[in-house]
């Protein structure tokens, strides 16, 4: 009797046209992929791939079989999803790839709420580079992606998740600490801490600064750091000021280690998007998360900021 795991190996190998890559996607050794495919070939006396030394190609037989193998896999997926969700109880696994650093701050909160409603869904979040998220979605290795920049792709469906405000933070004992508001031009005079500029997010920010009358080239940059967290830390230490996502700064703000200062006319937000593969079956769990996010993202953002503020009160 044919075996679904083997079929999955075959289909993945056919998609990758490369056993080693297929092995990676399947979290298997290359040897296992070879063996699985040979196993099908042996039991049915078929040649699925034509081997040309260092490359493999689908044989005619392989090509004709592929759609049927996909059918089996699809109906199996349907069944598995149904099995995981009997009597309305949503269950299953969700693999989420998160590309944006702000994800680190709200995702745990989001998932905590989600888990409260759907306790049987197991979620796994991995932080990864944007491109890996997109690859993972197209690979179908990931169910949901979280990214910070818009993307358009035939196979990807994108949904705005939240808008993260960009704010100016200053050290707790900075002269501006108790100011209501400063003028854009004032920013140029203060020591500024920035991230290394190759960061995609930072390019977007710089564009926005320009649009609000702050030329990033004229910033008094006293320090450049690799990641946003380090930048935040540097501000806490009093080295300078910076623009940062409100969500990221929430904890430091709540602890009073940095202060938020409004910049006249400055109103920038960074979007966060949720992405999924469209042509792929929507499992119950996926659908529920998608729907959940659509319904609750605003209140979740508020709750997150509020909760972080609570940290100070609790002390």
Binding interface with its own copies (CB under 8 A): 1-5, 7-8, 40, 44-46, 60-61, 64-65, 68-69, 71-72, 75-76, 78-80, 82-84, 86-87, 91, 120
**Pairing state of beta strands 220-225 and 191-195?**
parallel
CB-nearer residue toward DNA: 3 or 115: 3
Residue count of the chain = 315
Residue 56 interface partner, choices DNA, its own copies, none, CB cut-off 5-8 Å depending on type: DNA
Structure tokens at 151: 């993307």
Determine if 19 is a binding residue for DNA (CB under 7 A): yes
**Candidates 33-41, 162-170, 193-201, 258-266; binding stretch for DNA (CB under 7 A):** 33-41
Is position 61 an interface residue for DNA (rule: CB under 7 A)?
A: no
Question: What's the rounded Cα separation, in Å, for the pair 299 and 305?
Answer: 10
Smallest separation, CB 129 to its own copies (Å): 28
Only one of the segments 14-22, 100-108, 263-271, 277-285 lies at the binding site for DNA (rule: CB under 7 A); that segment is: 14-22
Residue 30: its H or E element = helix 30-44
Residue 156 is a binding residue for DNA (CB under 7 A): no
Residue 60 contact, options DNA, its own copies, none, Cβ 5-8 Å cut-off depending on partner type: its own copies
Q: Which C-beta is closer to DNA: that of 45 or that of 54?
A: 54
Binding of DNA by 5 (CB under 7 A)? yes
Among candidates 304, 315, 270, 310, which has minimal Cα distance to 113? 304
Stretch of 27-35, 95-103, 178-186, 224-232 lying at the interface with DNA (CB under 7 A): 27-35
Q: Residue 238: phi, psi to the nearest 5?
A: 85, 15
Residue 87 interacts with, from its own copies, DNA, none (CB under 5-8 Å by kind): its own copies
Instruction: Please report how close the Cβ of residue 82 comes to DNA at its closest, in angstroms.
Output: 20
Which of its own copies, DNA, none interacts with 10 (beta carbon under 5 to 8 A by kind)? none
Work out what residue 4 binds among DNA, its own copies, none; the CB cut-off runs from 5 to 8 Å by kind. Answer: its own copies
Q: Binding to DNA by residue 180, rule CB under 7 A?
A: no
Residue 17 or 281 having the CB closest to DNA: 17
Q: Residue 34 binds which one of DNA, its own copies, none, with CB within 5 to 8 A depending on kind?
A: DNA
284-314 and 60-84 helices cross at what angle (nearest 10)?
A: 50
Q: Which stretch binds DNA (CB under 7 A): 35-43, 90-98, 101-109, 292-300?
A: 35-43
Coil, helix or strand at residue 196: coil
Q: For residue 149, give every residue at least 6 positions away whose Cβ sits within 8 Å of its Cβ, in sequence order, or none.
A: 130, 200, 201, 204, 271, 273
What DSSP designation does 100 have? Answer: S
* Residue number, 68 or 197, with CB nearest to its own copies: 68
Question: CB of 94 within 8 A of CB of 123?
Answer: yes
The string over 90-123, giving b where at least 16 C-beta atoms fall within 10 Å of a residue's C-beta and e elsewhere, is: bbbebbbbbbbbbbbbbbebbbebbeeebeebeb
Closest CA to 163 of 184, 179, 148: 148
What is 221-251 written as a DSSP string?
A: EEEEESSHHHHHHHHHTTS-BEEEEHHHHHH
Between 26 and 170, CB nearer to DNA = 26
Binding site for DNA (CB under 7 A): 3, 5, 18-21, 27-32, 34-39, 49, 51-56
């Amino acid at each position: 009797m044919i075996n679904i795991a083997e079929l999955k190996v075959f289909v993945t190998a056919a998609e990758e046209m490369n056993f080693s890559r297929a092995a990676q996607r399947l979290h298997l050794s290359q040897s296992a992929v070879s063996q699985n495919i040979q196993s099908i070939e042996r039991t049915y006396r078929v040649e699925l791939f034509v081997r040309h030394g260092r490359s493999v190609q689908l044989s005619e037989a392989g090509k004709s079989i592929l759609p049927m193998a996909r059918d089996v896999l699809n109906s199996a997926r349907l069944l598995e999803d149904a099995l995981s969700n009997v009597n309305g109880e949503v269950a299953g696994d969700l693999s989420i790839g998160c590309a944006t650093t702000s994800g680190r701050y709200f995702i745990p909160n989001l998932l905590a709420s989600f888990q409260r409603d759907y306790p049987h869904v197991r979620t796994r979040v991995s932080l990864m580079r944007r491109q890996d998220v997109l690859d993972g979605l197209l690979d179908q290795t990931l169910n949901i992606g979280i990214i910070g920049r818009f993307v358009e792709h035939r196979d990807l469906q994108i949904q705005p998740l939240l808008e993260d405000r960009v704010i100016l933070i200053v050290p707790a004992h900075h002269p501006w600490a108790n100011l209501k508001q400063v003028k854009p031009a004032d920013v140029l005079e203060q020591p500024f801490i920035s991230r290394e500029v190759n960061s995609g997010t930072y390019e977007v920010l710089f564009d926005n600064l320009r649009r609000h009358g702050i030329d990033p080239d004229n910033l008094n940059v006293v320090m450049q750091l690799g990641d946003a967290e380090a930048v935040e830390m540097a501000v806490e230490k009093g080295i300078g000021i910076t623009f940062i996502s409100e969500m990221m700064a929430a904890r430091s703000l709540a602890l009073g280690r940095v202060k938020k200062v409004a910049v006249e006319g400055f109103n920038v937000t960074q979007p966060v998007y949720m992405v999924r593969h469209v042509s792929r079956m929507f499992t119950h769990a996926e659908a529920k998360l998608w729907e959940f996010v659509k319904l609750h993202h605003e209140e979740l953002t508020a709750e997150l900021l509020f909760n972080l503020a609570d940290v100070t009160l609790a002390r």
